[in-house]
Amino acid sequence: MHTPRLRPLTAAVLLCLLPLAARADEAVTETPRPSSVPGARVYLGGVTMTPDSGSPGSGGVIGFQSFLGKGGVLNSFWGVEILGVKVNDSSFLPFLTGDFGLRLMPWPEGFLRPYLKGGVGVTFILILPVPSLTLSLGLGIPIGRELVIDVALTARRAFNLFNVNNSLTLGVLEVGVGF
């Protein structure tokens, strides 16, 4: 009886594929790598203040944000920041803000990581609490596996509910480190 020559060829192909099948099994049981998307960030920056009425001012900011759910395209966050603005070359106006919101980062594992953040919160102007909204556009650049340097432009609108004419807008340029 005649045996086809395909059998030795089939056996050779199967022998070549056997190591690949073993590696595929290892890949399934391998633990996932930790994400390099930061779970928190600290930042410093410059501030410009534009009130609806009164004098504009400029100053600085220091802040902290914590992201819930490390990794992924959409994360929630909470944050606090302290701002100081000099007005009329003599007076100093302190702000304390706290907010929470969402961050959209379309490419969380990319080399350049653009993101958009939006949030709601409370801004204390001196001691007066007022609601505020924030919107940020930023870009992160990973430095190694665990650190990300980022730059963001943030607009914050603080609504004075007691006197609408005293609401104000803060523009912030932030430079931060995520870890």
pTM: 0.76
Chain centroid to Cα 64, Å, comes to: 11
* Cα torsion through 28, 74, 121, 148, rounded to 10: 70
Mean pLDDT, rounded, for 95-112? 93
51-97 pLDDT per residue, tens: 998 889 999 999 999 998 766 799 999 999 999 999 887 888 999 99
More confident residue, 151 or 6: 151
Domain residue ranges in the chain: 40-178
More confident residue, 104 or 5: 104
Alpha-carbon distances, residue 171 vs 17, 31, 46, 101, 160 (angstroms): 60, 43, 8, 18, 17
CATH no. of 40-178? 2.40.160.20
13 pLDDT more than 70: no
